Structure 1
Amino acid sequence: MSSRSSKTKITLPLTAPSPKLLTTWYAQQVVAGKIVASQKVRQACKRHLNDLKRQGTTEFPWVFDEEKGHRPIRFMEQFCRPSQGNYRQLVLQPWQHFIIGSLYGWVHKDTGLRRFREGLIFVGRKNGKTTKVSGLSLYGASKDGERGARVYQLANSMKQARLQFDECKAMVQQSPALAKHFRVTRDAIFFDKTLSKIEPQASDSERLDGLNTHLAIFDEIHEYRDYKLINVIKNSRGARQQPLILYITTAGTVLDGPLMDYYELGADILSGAITNERLFFFMAELDPEDDVEDPATWIKANPNLGVSLQLDDMIEEWERAKLIPAERSDFITKRLNVFVKAGEESWLPWEVIQRNNGEIPIEELEGLECVGGFDLSDTQDFTAACLEFPIPGERKVAVISHSWVPQAKVALDQEKIPFREYEEAGLLTIVPGDYVRHELVYEWFVKQAERFAITKIAYDPAKAFELVKALTGYGFELKPVRQGFITLGPALDHLQELFLDGAVVYNNNRLLRWYINNVKLVEDRNRNKMPTKIGKYRRIDGFAALLNAHTEVMHMLTTPSPGGSIEFVSISKLLKGGE
């Protein structure tokens, strides 16, 4: 669809309520379809309206206090002004009223303390993020009722954290009212009346101990690859009555980090799949069915369209960016808030990987025939093994995957991979020493054989002589898989079809998902394909093990019956020549 220009701006009708009531008004307008918003924003608005109806019930201890919800908004509009641009007064928009009003207005009916302990604000670039961070930081240090408040502005690097902090300092310096009460130094902003202060902190800060969080605002957590700083902040709020942690970010290309975990958690909570009353989510994005080239949908990811950014400017930027693959991906990610994998050669779009996030209880796989696969490492690297199960009666497979990595690699920490989190989830074993002993893979397959019917194990013959000898001696049938275009290409195509159909069940194995996300393709002169990895530090070992197994599984998965339907064929039939 070709780009087209229009003037898009949210304006309040003459019947709009007083500003104090805009939180609920916005939710009503979105649910009624009068304000265009993403599906997840509509779900957040429905959640708010439903919770209003639950007030006063025995099972719901929260009430919505419109006055408390409006206090930080009133503070920001009265005292704060962006330091960049020609703004004489800050006027927060209805969607910002909804976010801030919800975070500060929902309180416990008995104590009056805040309901929400954490919030994810997920919006496109240039939607007033910097102003919101600065304004809420200043309110948190001065007017939030917390003596000795510690407010932290957080980023992945101190350089980035200081950019946000410098904007907050500039906001104080250009406001006579704020400058009168706040004391600004190079490294902190002090509110001496309550002995409170605002500081920048980052993952690479030299000292992260001794923090005492009242309010923490993370900037752009799409860049984070681990939970180091997040966990420090979460563990530092025990002495506070109503601490609040906010994550304000756009989408990104790091699809195995904390943002993706929070994004998926938010999707589950907003859809009602799980319940958590203490987490808030505002997720402005294009919906899966939206055309990225249709400017009419862009407001879903940019609720400030017509205020801090203009549609005509976005269209002009898109017309230029769409001609260059890297710039096109950046526009889709940052301006339309759609997760895009790094690299145009990526094997599967992120939404396709997400399509396969189903689960099958491990107990249901016991006794089913499966094919094993493994990929051995070079010295200090990942080793991976898997079992792939064709699901009887369906064109679907389930995957169990495990990896090993030496402690020496973990100690280097060059890649910011969350090794410890993977280990705690049971997806990875960190092995003492400098390399992964092949006996560990042997022991893993022997243990799995106690529960599952492993018919054969497919493998890359390079470096596998001793392991193959041991596995064969135990009684497994081993199948070498030559790592070439002719052998791997058909399996790669078949596996891709299964992913496109949402038919690969990997039980939300985050490490396997990371491997899959790192795959890109190379082709020979005949357009035959092979997988390779994206970038120097990305790994595909777990996917390589799965692909080895799939060279066998694709033959045993399904076969057309005489009537034209699909019939499951077991490995035992294949071994008996189809009898």
Structure 2
Amino acid sequence: MNYLISKPSDTLLTHLYAEEVIQGDILASKKVILACKRHMKDLDRAGTEGFPWVFDEERAHNPIRFMEKFCKPSQGDFSSLVLQPWQHFIVGSLCGWVHKDTGVRRFREGLVFIGRKNGKTTMISALSNYFLMADKEPGARIYLLSNAKEQARLLFDESKAMVDSSPVLEKRLLNLRDAIKHPKSKSKIEPRASDSKKLDGLNTHLAVFDEIHEFVDYKLINVIKKSRGSRKQPLILYITTAGYQLDGPLVNYYEQGADVLDGVFPDERTFYYLAELDSAEEFDKPETWVKANPSMGLSLNLEILKEDWEKDKRTPEERLDFITKQFNWFSRSSDLSYLDYETIQKNKKVIDINELKGKACTGAYDLSETEDFTSACLEFPLPETGEIFVLSHSWIPRKKVLADNEKIPYTEWAEQGLLTITKHDYVQYELVYDWFIEQAQKYQIDLIKYDRANAFRLNKDLEAYGFKTEKVRQGFETLSPAMKDLKHLFIDGKVISNQNQLLRWYINNVKLVKDRNGNLMPTKQNRYRKIDGFAALLNAHTNVMTDLTTPVSTGNVKVWSIKELMGR
């Protein structure tokens, strides 16, 4: 049987969707509009010198026709699958763009970022069946992937159900407990997960990562990427809603997508569809919710969503879940989390660290337990701009890294120079001592602040070398002012760390404890989510905050900083 469909009409829905989004006839997020503009711009330069990609309407339309003709949703009262315009745009783009000479697909990866209950499972399950039997790939291996086995099987079970409900698919495909096979091409679909026992020996033609927001590291992603080398046109697709994991792969891929769509840097081989609300002001404007939920009116009922929002927004935990899953905004898991995603994004400035040589700073350290993270930092006040620069470093015992039961990217951070993996089973305090000595050759360390827990020997040695030290009382009254002042700096975008990913991880892990007077203390969200680097920064900031607010004398006139005037 020939599964290829004859060439469709010139007005393909893939193009039509892009045109209507750009014209404003279809309401969409700013990033979806940019994706559509990218598509139309690429059509104009298709096949030109320096841009070897062309759009093959037949290749784009074939999977759509296959999915609609042979794949029936298993849940709900549907007699057939009818793809929505936004789904035409995604599937058509992924499959229609090819190299003008070789016919190889352009896109090797794709990120589909969309609100909950918009039909992504149905779309991907049907697309997987197409790749299994109609993509003309001998021995194709399709992997449906997630962070846990149960989630990975959701996509897989939907693909199986589609086979059972289609006489054409049922006749040609073999449904097994852990695989769907196409005997004619010797191809198969399998579910896999991060917690699967066996992840080697893969040979990826199509890999679909479901709900990548749950991933905390790149282990499974890297396995899949390395397994596609023998394939001519493999595709890795990440399809997900937003989540609470602000330092995982999804945020990284999302930010890369935003940069590509904004034209910051080119990436011709990755497709992006990022559906979300554009601002918090739209939370109470139901007419805009379609931006994050393009299947509104089909799989989602606006009136029911409005009722749910009115109820959920009164409870902090439910409000955050609604914002994350329905408005598709990255959120923290608690209303007492320290910083949100948007605030962290304001602080991406990078400076030449050599410009700080000889400048005054405050040091601090947090020794924590010797068998876990230890951190130290230097905080530089920059009075001319009201900014601060943070130089942060951490240490972790090799034993902790080898155990590797927390899915933390120690090796990546070590390669970036942010973390030292010690040779011993514990962190020797001499390593922190040597770090401060090394930094003192470059910078003027006026004071070193410390938490007295576990710090006696290190502090005595630092003082013997000539450093001035001062302990920080770990209590609400001492730390709360520093926490609030530091948060204001983050909100103003005035914290520079040269995009230190480990420090960002520490900050993401901070949860607040509040006393009856509104004073704040930091704590970690759980035993795996460490905050040692933030604790060191907070200790330093108890001193630096005064450097940014101290009045200076000009004759008989006292001149105050902007920050001090705002607080008076």
Deviations along 1:203-225, whole A, 9 cap, x unmatched? Answer: 11111111000000001011111
2:461 matched residue in structure 1: 470
Map of 1:144-155 to 2, 5 A cutoff?
A: 144-155=135-146
Map of 1:511-522 to 2, 5 A cutoff?
A: 511-522=502-513
Q: Distance in 2 between matches of 1:293 and 1:379?
A: 49
Contact 1:357 1:507 in 2 (8 A): yes
Question: Is residue 2:48 matched to residue 1:41?
Answer: no
2:415 matched residue in structure 1: 424
1:360 matched residue in structure 2: 351
Structure 1 vs Structure 2 CA RMSD: 1.9
Match of 1:105 among 92, 96, 99: 96
1:557 matched residue in structure 2: 548
Instruction: State the SS of the aligned residue for 1:291.
Output: helix
Contact 2:282 2:289 in 1 (8 A): no
Q: Distance in 2 between matches of 1:25 and 1:191?
A: 34
Match of 2:325 among 331, 334, 337: 334
1:485 matched residue in structure 2: 476
- Unaligned residue ranges in structure 2 (runs of 5+): 1-7
1:303 matched residue in structure 2: 294
Q: Relative contact order, CA 8 A, sep 6+: which one is greater?
A: 1
Q: Which amino acid aligns with 2:248?
A: G
Question: Is residue 2:210 matched to residue 1:231?
Answer: no
Match of 2:129 among 114, 129, 138: 138
Contact 1:214 1:243 in 2 (8 A): yes
Question: Is residue 2:436 matched to residue 1:442?
Answer: no
1:507 is displaced (CA, Å) by: 1.7
Instruction: State the SS of the aligned residue for 1:153.
Output: strand
1:349 matched residue in structure 2: 340
Q: Which amino acid aligns with 2:30?
A: Q
1:287 is displaced (CA, Å) by: 1.3
Contact 1:393 1:568 in 2 (8 A): no
Q: Which amino acid aligns with 2:165?
A: Q
1:479 is displaced (CA, Å) by: 2.2
Contact 2:214 2:245 in 1 (8 A): yes
Match of 2:234 among 243, 247, 263: 243
Q: Which amino acid aligns with 1:97?
A: H
2:107 matched residue in structure 1: 116
Answer with 239-248 or 517-526: which moved more: 517-526
Instruction: State the SS of the aligned residue for 2:281.
Output: coil
Q: Distance in 1 between matches of 2:484 and 2:397?
A: 32
The 1:335–1:468 alpha-carbon spacing in structure 2 relative to 1, beyond 3 Å, is same
Answer with 409-418 or 61-70: which moved more: 409-418
Identity between Structure 1 and Structure 2 (%) = 61
Question: Is residue 2:404 matched to residue 1:391?
Answer: no
Contact 1:20 1:67 in 2 (8 A): no
Answer with 293-302 or 402-411: which moved more: 402-411
Instruction: State the SS of the aligned residue for 2:136.
Output: coil
1:289 is displaced (CA, Å) by: 4.5
2:3 matched residue in structure 1: none
Deviations along 1:299-358, whole A, 9 cap, x unmatched? Answer: 111011111111112112222322332222111111111111011211222211122122
2:208 matched residue in structure 1: 217
1:161 matched residue in structure 2: 152
The 1:298–1:19 alpha-carbon spacing in structure 2 relative to 1, beyond 3 Å, is farther
Q: Distance in 2 between matches of 1:454 and 1:74?
A: 68
Deviations along 1:472-507, whole A, 9 cap, x unmatched? Answer: 222322222111222212111111111111111122
Deviations along 1:266-322, whole A, 9 cap, x unmatched? Answer: 111111112111111111011134332321221111011111111112112222322
Map of 1:196-215 to 2, 5 A cutoff?
A: 196-215=187-206
Aligned pair count?
553
Question: Is residue 2:282 matched to residue 1:291?
Answer: yes
Q: Distance in 1 between matches of 2:300 and 2:517?
A: 47
Q: Which amino acid aligns with 2:118?
A: N
The 1:325–1:568 alpha-carbon spacing in structure 2 relative to 1, beyond 3 Å, is closer
Q: Which amino acid aligns with 1:445?
A: F
Instruction: State the SS of the aligned residue for 2:347.
Output: coil
The 1:555–1:317 alpha-carbon spacing in structure 2 relative to 1, beyond 3 Å, is same
Contact 2:244 2:333 in 1 (8 A): yes
Match of 2:247 among 248, 256, 281: 256
Contact 1:150 1:198 in 2 (8 A): yes
1:563 is displaced (CA, Å) by: 8.9
Q: Distance in 2 between matches of 1:363 and 1:54?
A: 43
1:459 is displaced (CA, Å) by: 1.2
Answer with 475-484 or 271-280: which moved more: 475-484
* TM-score normalised by length of structure 2: 0.94
Contact 2:132 2:187 in 1 (8 A): yes
Q: Distance in 1 between matches of 2:519 and 2:150?
A: 45
1:53 is displaced (CA, Å) by: 2.1
1:365 is displaced (CA, Å) by: 2.5
Instruction: State the SS of the aligned residue for 1:104.
Output: helix
Match of 2:501 among 498, 507, 510: 510
Question: Is residue 2:539 matched to residue 1:544?
Answer: no
Q: Which amino acid aligns with 1:302?
A: N
The 1:113–1:334 alpha-carbon spacing in structure 2 relative to 1, beyond 3 Å, is same
Answer with 350-359 or 435-444: which moved more: 350-359
Contact 1:498 1:504 in 2 (8 A): yes
